[in-house]
Chain A
Amino acid sequence: MSGQIDEGLRSELQRQGIWVTSMQDLYNWGRRSSIWPLQFGLACCAIEMIATAASRYDLARFGGEIFRPSPRQADLMIVAGTVTKKMAPQIVRLYNQMPDPKYVISMGACAISGGPFKQGYNVLKGIDRYIPVDVYIPGCPPRPEALLHAFMELQRKIDGQKLTGDNRAEHLNPAQPSEFPVPAFGAHDLEPPANPDVFEPPKIERT
């Protein structure tokens, strides 16, 4: 909607004390300004996550300081640390328990790809095998500034989500699943090893 208002007219109105906005902008502004993350740390990156929320870096400046211990009250899951195969089913279950709209930040090398522990037999090679990830932050561990940057990227993404039309946000599409199958412990590996609806293995192109 806001795209249809002439910017010059809008700023002119603002100068007169009239603030014009659209439902979509207002709604997205509210959502992005109060993202409640899930209080959930896995490994080393969780300490940097706490440092981000603590006194110096102060995630509260971006509206994200309310860490909720219950997934039912959380909007954002920060997967901070190494995901082992023993832990992966619990993470998918936690994700399933979060209400829509929900977002995932994959923090650190381990959560992205297994990181330095990738060669381990029981380390999951990236949480994006089971749940969709919105923002990836590389680093081992990423600095708090990097997490803040990821948070701002996520806010930018929320700001751009449409409420109506064909390209509306994914969570408004009834066909879009909000829960994903929880992997089970198989004989050798998690079953299935990756969710094909979410994960596409990287293609290696040889020239």
Chain B
Amino acid sequence: MSATIQTFEPAERPPTTMGARLEGELMEVSMGPQHPSTHGVFRMNVALEGEIVRKLKPVFGYLHRNHEKIGENTSYLGSMPYTDRLDYFCSMTNNWAYALSVEKLAGIAVPARAEYLRVILAELTRLQNHASLLGFLLSDMGAWGTPLMYAFREREKILDLFESLSGSRMMCDYMRFGGCRVDAGPDWMERAKKIVDSFPRFLDEFENLILSNEVVIARTQEVGKLSADLAINAGITGPMLRACGVNYDVRKVDGYGFYPRFKFRVPLGEHGDTYDRLMMRALEMRESVGILKQAFEQVPVGPVMNPKVKIRAFRPPAGEAYGRIEAPKGELGFYLISNGGTNPYRYRVRPTSFINLTVLEDLCLGHTVADVMVILGSVDIVMGEVDR
């Protein structure tokens, strides 16, 4: 929005094609918080030399909503709707991560049907999150609108499923400690099966449209390379870590829920650039479709709620627990300390996209300012989770 000229320490400047070194002042540009491609209200102060990024400083806090403090002042159940609003694309996985950590804290068992439902809903969430991410990423690249329309067409179908199950399109508030709130009927399962069966057709269409597109390749390959060492040291998780070739998926590592019962592969990248991160999402969607098909076959009948759990006036024993899951964006964890009361004593979220964002400067240095948007889009941030 505003541009101020500021001098920085003369950084190491690369030689120009003519061999001479360019000497000039760096210009600091504030990108955001109102910017069409910052995925909400993210702001970056970028120091530019011509068009090349020499320094990048993220500015956070434009959407800080006191999530953790509110969590400490509400009952355990009362925090469940707030978790929907963390990463507002994936309310189901947020619910699951929170329910998992409370279940760990209080030692609650979950019935088999509820575990299967959770897997189904989490994988549906992954499908719609990755589909809309690809749409947004292409919008940032300049394919204004059209890929997003395709992605949102598929997303709406999945949101319809969420709505008929939980009553809300985005803010599902569906999982409970010890199960799920309501059972999914047989007609719901049939509809879900149909949508999942038709999803690969969308993927084929989408991949044909974009993944071999010359412009997409030129804009993404060798842009924003992340080394595996840096990714591990910075705590990067999710598709962004696997794009660097590190085989780490919490679904495989922890085997939480019923994931050990499913056969699926973890796609791995090689170069850690933006194209690999983009491909990771496309490949993960195919694996999610596979998991969903297995889940529809295996899902048993039975209760969806552990009848012994007293949800209202719920008091877990004193102690602490950390529950984590593989959310679409990476490892999402909730750390809870209980002192035996109705509210958690400490409530801490391990936000996926915030930690993935810490390497943004390393990814962007040396690239043009237009690439910053593409790199930011491939990190897949949601400001509700970054600022909380």
Contacts and interface: CB of A to CB of B under 8 A. Distances in A.
Nearest to B151: A54
Contact of B63 (A48, A54, A82): A82
B70 A86 contact: no
A11 B76 CA distance: 64
B384 A116 contact: no
Interface stretch (A17-25, A37-45, A162-170, A172-180): A37-45
B89 A117 contact: no
B36 A43 contact: no
Nearest to A48: B170
A195 B49 CA distance: 41
A54 B82 contact: no
A90 B64 CA distance: 15
A87 B63 contact: yes
A43 B156 contact: no
Interface stretch (A119-127, A147-155, A181-189): A119-127
Interface in B2-41: 33-36, 40-41
Interface string A96-140: 000000000000000000001101111100000000000000001
Given A87-B41, A116-B85, A39 B156 contact: no
A40 B34 contact: yes
Given A42-B41, A44-B85, A119 B70 contact: yes
Contacts of A143: 169
Given A54-B149, A143-B169, A42 B156 contact: no
Where chain A touches its partner, the secondary structure class is loop
Contacts, number: 92
Nearest to B383: A43
A69 interface: yes
A117 B64 CA distance: 10
A39 B36 contact: yes
Contacts of B64: 84, 86, 122
A54 B65 contact: no
A190 interface: no
B171 interface: yes
B359 interface: no
B153 interface: yes
A84 B156 contact: no
A67 B35 CA distance: 12
A120 B65 contact: yes
A15 interface: no
B107 interface: no
18 contacts: A40-B34, A41-B40, A43-B85, A50-B148, A51-B156, A54-B153, A55-B149, A55-B152, A55-B156, A71-B34, A87-B33, A87-B63, A90-B62, A94-B34, A116-B82, A119-B73, A120-B70, A141-B170
Given A87-B63, A90-B1, 20 more contacts: A40-B34, A41-B40, A42-B41, A48-B169, A50-B148, A51-B156, A54-B148, A54-B149, A54-B153, A55-B149, A55-B152, A69-B36, A81-B63, A84-B64, A86-B64, A87-B33, A90-B62, A116-B82, A117-B66, A123-B65
